[in-house]
Amino acid sequence: MKSDVLIAPDHLEKSSRAALREQIRGAAEVVVIPALALVGALALFGVFVALFGKNPLDLYFYMYQGAFGTWFSWQNTLTRAAPLILTALCTALPAQLGMVIIGGEGALLMGALAATSAALALPGAPPLAVQVAMACAGMITGGLWIALSGALRQYRGVNETISSLLLVYIALALLNHLVEGPMRDPTSLNKPSTSEIGAANMIGTIPGTDVHWGFAFGIIAAVLSYVLIYHAVFGFAARVAGGNLRAAKVVGLSVSRLILIICFLAGAAAGLAGMVEVAAVQGRTNANLAAGYGFTGILVAFLARQNPLAVIPVAILLGGIGASGGLLQRRLGLPDASVLVLQGMIFIAVLASDSLYGRLPFFARKGGA
């Protein structure tokens, strides 16, 4: 939304006022409908919890407290959201072209491996140089991993959803092989791992918080993606191709190039998430990296309706659900699976609410505007 539209001077013509009202109404619709879906899902979850003999009001209180109630809870939420923003972009970017990429987990793992290799290949280099090398290695490897799916689709007609998913298993097998074989630190006895990248090379936390830099990287990447998709010629071309492939070809757009570049950028975001997991959390690569961030990212992207900017609040929401899940287990004695039930309810509610667009009387277009 542009701010200059909001402070429209009085002498504007009637038609542009109507247009403005239309724009605000449209923006409100995009916010209100998912919010209604969220409230609906929470209410449904309250009923579910009540069936187990727990008080739903306690549930809402603990969820709020665990996710946003204290400064600690906020940091907990943002830390959990950090990798999700980046992995969600791995699905949201190709979606602009009408592609459904669900292999962010594979790009994350490959990015983590490459970032670790880069750090181990540069012993004694200044930390900043090592960190930059790790980020580049992670992004390039992750990017190539998803670009491979894009290329298979464009040149060989392989469905990109299937290929990107299968590439996850290949990445995991590769990671396990390297970590338990050639790259194994011989002192990692009962937990096969690579050597550590060294404490000096860790990227640390955002000053004054406990939240690592991955969160800031995620915000930057999401904003850049938004600008690229909605305010750049390249993004416009991508959306045209996503809307109608044949039309895009007729007007002379290089669809192959678009697919490869967008897939590369998508994979680079997930690869960066892998680099951050190594450089801010684990300090080395091992099987712990396959924590499913890539898969939760798919959920985030779909809930954000593939809008790179909306990915940020949705990731924070899911981070908050994760953060409060622990408190629900401890205070209400709910099993861990209850959080999955809630996630599922939100997912279904938001997807189902898609059919409400343009149908709620409050948002209905008036006249022929």
Task: Note the residues at the interface with other proteins (CB under 8 A).
Answer: 65-66, 69-73, 76, 79-80, 176, 180-181, 189-192, 212, 277, 281-283, 286-289, 291-292, 322-323, 326-327, 329-330, 335-336
Listed in sequence order, the residues at least 6 apart from 49 whose beta carbon sits closer than 8 Å to its beta carbon are 56, 59, 332, 334, 338
Separation between Cα atoms, residue 170 and residue 175, nearest integer Å: 8
Let me know: does 119 contact 285? Beta carbons within 8 Å: no
Task: Name the minimum Å distance from CB 194 to other proteins.
Answer: 13
Task: Name the minimum Å distance from CB 278 to other proteins.
Answer: 11
Nearer to other proteins, 161 or 176 (CB): 176
Task: Name the minimum Å distance from CB 210 to other proteins.
Answer: 8
Nearer to other proteins, 59 or 148 (CB): 59
Listed in sequence order, the residues at least 6 apart from 86 whose beta carbon sits closer than 8 Å to its beta carbon are 214, 217, 218, 221, 269, 270, 272, 273, 276, 297
Nearer to other proteins, 141 or 193 (CB): 193
DSSP per-residue letters across 146-214: HHHHHHHHHHH---HHHHHHHHHHHHHHHHHHHHHTTT--TT--SS-BPPP--GGG---B-TTSS-BTH
Separation between Cα atoms, residue 218 and residue 62, nearest integer Å: 27
Nearer to other proteins, 150 or 325 (CB): 325
Nearer to other proteins, 189 or 250 (CB): 189
Nearer to other proteins, 179 or 262 (CB): 179
Instruction: Using alpha carbons, list the distances in angstroms from residue 3 to 13, 18, 21, 124, 226.
Output: 18, 17, 14, 50, 17
Take residue 164 and report the two structure tokens written for it. Answer: 């990107």
Separation between Cα atoms, residue 339 and residue 63, nearest integer Å: 10
Task: Name the minimum Å distance from CB 161 to other proteins.
Answer: 22
Task: Name the minimum Å distance from CB 145 to other proteins.
Answer: 21
Task: Name the minimum Å distance from CB 275 to other proteins.
Answer: 15
Task: Name the minimum Å distance from CB 240 to other proteins.
Answer: 40
Nearer to other proteins, 72 or 357 (CB): 72
